[in-house]
Chain A
Amino acid sequence: MASFIYKDLYINNFYSIAGKNENNGILKNVNKYINDFYYGEKTIEDSEIKMQKEVLNNLINTKTDLIVGGDLMNQITATSSSNVNNNISFLGVYNACATFVESMIIISNFINGKSIKEGISITSSHNLASEKQFRFPIEYGAQKPSYTTFTTTGSVGCVLSKNKSNIKIKGSTIGSIVDMGIKDANNMGAVMAPAAVKTLKEHLDYTKTSVNDYDIILTGDLGSYGTKLFKILLKEDYNINIKNHIDAGSIIYKKEQEKYSGGSGPVCLPLILFNNILQNKKYKKILAIATGSLHSPMLVNQKHSIPSIAHLISLEVTNDNNI
């Protein structure tokens, strides 16, 4: 287990782009919405790269030392392509839907260790690109069970440094890989719930806090069925009754949008975190747990069970003026 506590580390800036379906959901103050999946490009892959480039253009400044990021495309090519020739050191990471928090933790530790001064964490996902990658061809319209999730379209990035702002990063926990023998790639909530519970418990133990010490515990993309399992596991294994929990995937779409059991993808958690939770003055102490289902279509076809991971980052909003 690796948990960290940071003394003075802040989120200075963030920028987010979201897709058409997310526009109709509950997000507020997203910097930009794209109205079609192609975003003026010839392929869906190009549109994801364009989204990331736009986010980076809005965040990169002369002080940026390092960019860490990843996405869902094969060999994280969207992130690699969007960073071409920008003359900034780059680390590509992949932890499926936990990629964004993973990259935030990496940058936080670099800054905390005084190796760098400022870093950018970036991620993106595209519904059609990941459908093509992980599931059936886009136009095929395969029948899906109600407990599956819908990959969110968008791109989010944030700048981390020691320069003071009102969003403080208090600590983090790097999760470990958990495999409970679930083989259904549609049921990612069930795959990821045990990992989320484990990481949450490890962080609470390390910081000697309880769930009630936080205003909100935000999980990434468990979906409505995964949320149910998350609560059952917490209750049965650790006797924790959790009331201040919200799952970003379950709330990102409205019910009438009929997106199965909710949204998923690495941008799901940061979109809700930056454009909903941090805009709400009610929430001061926030635990964000990003969960990732680490499957590949090949190993799922070979009947392997699906491993999962969860990373946690703890935030505190220090005054009333949200950025």
Chain B
Amino acid sequence: MEKLKYQKLVNDTTPKPKKMKHSLIAFISGGLLGAICEILKLILVNVYDMKITDASSIIIFILVIVACFMTAFFDFDKWVIKFKAGLIVPITGFAHSIQSSALDYKKDGLITGLGANFFKLAGSVILYGIVSAFIFCLIKVVFYG
């Protein structure tokens, strides 16, 4: 069979991912996680008299700690497969990616293993996060003062 014909055959026979179903699961699971965080925030603001900005920071802090803890001691990877991007898009995914790289490379030494591979997956998030933040700040300063 010719190359192009074969590639077309492969394209036609390979099952397509169920994007609609996955997005719906992610929408619901991510929404639930967001709702839990919102309730926590309201508790912090109303019961402990915190400022809203402080409460948000503390929530992020809690999410990171919980995600790292779950990755290290429980099956967070299996939950991610089940609940899709709903668990990855919040800061939990970022913490989880760092924690999983760290677990993989901890035996390869502190410098050559853990240190070098710590941001293996999260590195692009940090880099492009900083770059896009810089560009948007530039636009804001130039056009809106």
Contact = CB atoms under 8 A, between A and B. Distances in A.
Interface of A: 42-43, 132, 136-141, 143, 145-147, 180-182, 187, 190, 194, 225, 228-229, 232-233, 236-237
A237 B3 CA distance: 13
Interface in B2-25: 3-4, 6-7, 9-10, 13-15, 17, 22
> B interface, how many residues as a size bin?
20 to 34
A190 B80 CA distance: 27
A145 B17 contact: yes
B21 to A, nearest CB: 12
B35 to A, nearest CB: 23
Nearest to A139: B100
Which are the 4 A-B pairs with shortest beta-carbon distances?
A: A141-B77, A139-B100, A140-B100, A137-B100
17 contacts: A136-B100, A137-B97, A138-B77, A138-B100, A140-B96, A140-B100, A140-B101, A141-B100, A143-B22, A143-B84, A145-B17, A180-B7, A194-B6, A225-B15, A229-B10, A232-B9, A237-B1
Interface in B92-125: 96-97, 99-101, 103-104, 107, 120-121
Contact of A228 (B1, B13, B100, B101): B13
A165 to B, nearest CB: 40
Given A139-B104, A141-B78, A229-B13, 7 more contacts: A137-B97, A137-B121, A138-B100, A139-B96, A141-B80, A147-B15, A182-B10
Contacts of A181: 3-4, 6-7
Contacts of B17: 145-146
B10 A190 contact: yes
A194 B100 CA distance: 36
Contacts of B104: 132, 137-139
A240 to B, nearest CB: 13
Interface of B: 1, 3-4, 6-7, 9-10, 13-15, 17, 22, 71, 76-81, 84, 96-97, 99-101, 103-104, 107, 120-121
Classify the interface of chain B: helix, strand, loop or mixed: helix
Residue of A137, A147, A180, A228 ringed by the most chain B CB atoms within 10 A: A137
Contacts of A233: 1, 6
Given A43-B107, A237-B1, A140 B10 contact: no
Contacts of B7: 180-182
Nearest to B7: A181
Given A137-B120, A139-B99, A232-B9, A180 B3 contact: yes
Contacts of B80: 140-141, 143
